[in-house]
Amino acid sequence: MSNRAYNFNAGPAALPLEVLEQAQQQFVDFNGAGMSIMEMSHRSKPYEQVNDQAQALMRKLYGIPDDYEVMFLQGGASTQFAMLPMNLLVPDRPAAYVLTGSWAQKAVKEAQLLGETVLAGSSEADKFNRIPKGAEINVPANAAYLHVTSNETIEGTQYMDYPEVPADVPLIADMSSDIMSRPVDISKFGVIYAGAQKNLGPSGVTIVIMRRDLLERCPKQVPTMLRYDTHAKNGSLYNTPPSFSVYMVQLVLQWIEARGGVEAIARINRDKTKLIYDAIDGSGGFYRGFASPESRSQMNITFRMQDEALEKQFIAESEAQGFVGLKGHRSVGGLRASTYNAVPHESCSALAAFMLDFQRRHG
């Protein structure tokens, strides 16, 4: 296919072409069933297989231990901001948050509606251009949990190492924009959650990986659909799931497996982002990275130029050459290239070449 854009959208974002083509092949007639996967009962054998295989493949590729539940929920990561404190807050134990940017702020805001919170660390004084270092993060020993935002999608920062937590304090990570982009030691976490639409599939499904003992924390008055134990007990089939989205996630997971798994994906991602970070660092200040180098994200590359007029020109010229999604988020401004798993190496090398050429013409 020749008319695929160089897609750097922040989310929903690029999907692997191979996955789109496979879905297209199966779209009208799923494996000879005479109907699309969307037209089937979620209690049917073919759909149950999709659901089971997606969960099993995620466990295998991400190294998820047996004492963790994998759930496919709805409502996006934004619903998790509230569902987590609803289920996991404990009386007289504050929920601890590290404030690293726009998404962390939204997460803590929801917890504040529901109980006591405490800031364990913040980089707000530096305009969220970095992730606080381990020693800057102080978690009360009695915290109900510590919440971190693994990758700040808007600012373009990412944890290289996750903070240490006191023995009885589960670590919770919003990995919406970097799930399965690199290997992580799942056993260090109580909960990992992510909307699928950045690294794993289309919008509509939210992945929650939760250590099983935490399912028991949920207070009695929390409504059925907002309880993790409801979904865990029913294999994410308590009510009608977002079946097409889960099916697409299954295909993306198979695609990750075919590329050699999460470790191979991480290597490919590093090679991709190096092209663009090198274009920034080699520009003599023409392009200026927003994130402090030690906190640079492998998923969202944020940068600015000397003035907004030049940035506008950059966007206009890039769009004319087939690049999409390079405008920075309105809260930070400047430019942003989102280089999720499915963004091909070719898109990144084309962007690096465009940046060089743009600088030559306007520098």
Ligand X SMILES: *Cc1c(COP(=O)(O)O)cnc(C)c1O
Annotated binding residue 213: no
What is the rounded CA–CA span in Å between residue 31 and residue 46?
Answer: 9
Helix (H) or strand (E) holding 246: helix 243-258
Which of 29, 60, 188, 198 is an active site residue? 198
Shortest distance in whole angstroms from residue 228 CB to ligand X: 17
Annotated binding residue 339: no
Extended strands (E) in 175-280 = 191-195, 206-211
Annotated binding residue 77: yes
Shortest distance in whole angstroms from residue 301 CB to ligand X: 14
Half-sphere exposure of 117 (CA within 13 A, CB side): 22
Half-sphere exposure of 340 (CA within 13 A, CB side): 29
What is the rounded CA–CA span in Å between residue 4 and residue 168?
Answer: 49
Strand partners, 151: 158
Nearer to ligand X, 265 or 279 (CB): 265
What is the rounded CA–CA span in Å between residue 345 and residue 351?
Answer: 10
Shortest distance in whole angstroms from residue 176 CB to ligand X: 3
Annotated binding residue 168: no
Nearer to ligand X, 94 or 201 (CB): 201
Shortest distance in whole angstroms from residue 117 CB to ligand X: 17
Shortest distance in whole angstroms from residue 225 CB to ligand X: 16
Nearer to ligand X, 55 or 177 (CB): 177
CA nearest neighbour of 338 among 266, 256, 276: 276
Q: Measure the N-to-C terminal CA separation of the chain; round to a whole number of Å.
A: 34
Told to judge if 29 belongs to the known catalytic residues of this protein, a careful annotator would answer no
Told to judge if 198 belongs to the known catalytic residues of this protein, a careful annotator would answer yes
Which residues contribute to the site for ligand X (CB under 6 A)?
11, 76-78, 103, 149, 153, 174, 176-177, 195
Annotated binding residue 230: no
Nearer to ligand X, 82 or 350 (CB): 82
Annotated binding residue 197: yes
Which of 103, 255, 272, 327 is an active site residue? 103
* Backbone CA torsion sign across 322, 328, 329, 333: negative
Shortest distance in whole angstroms from residue 289 CB to ligand X: 19
Nearer to ligand X, 80 or 283 (CB): 80
Token pair 């509509």 in the structure block, residue? 204
Print the SS3 string covering 67-79.
CEEEEEECCHHHH
Question: Could you tell me if 266 and 182 are in contact, meaning their C-beta atoms sit under 8 angstroms apart?
Answer: yes
Q: Identity (one letter) of the amino acid at 202?
A: P
Annotated binding residue 240: yes
b/e burial code for range 234-249 (CB count within 10 A of at least 16 → b)? ebbbbeebbbbbbbbb
Which of 174, 229, 272, 327 is an active site residue? 174
Nearer to ligand X, 200 or 262 (CB): 200
**Which positions are catalytic?**
103, 174, 198
As annotated, the binding site for pyridoxal 5'-phosphate includes 77-78, 103, 153, 174, 197, 239-240
As annotated, the binding site for L-glutamate includes 43
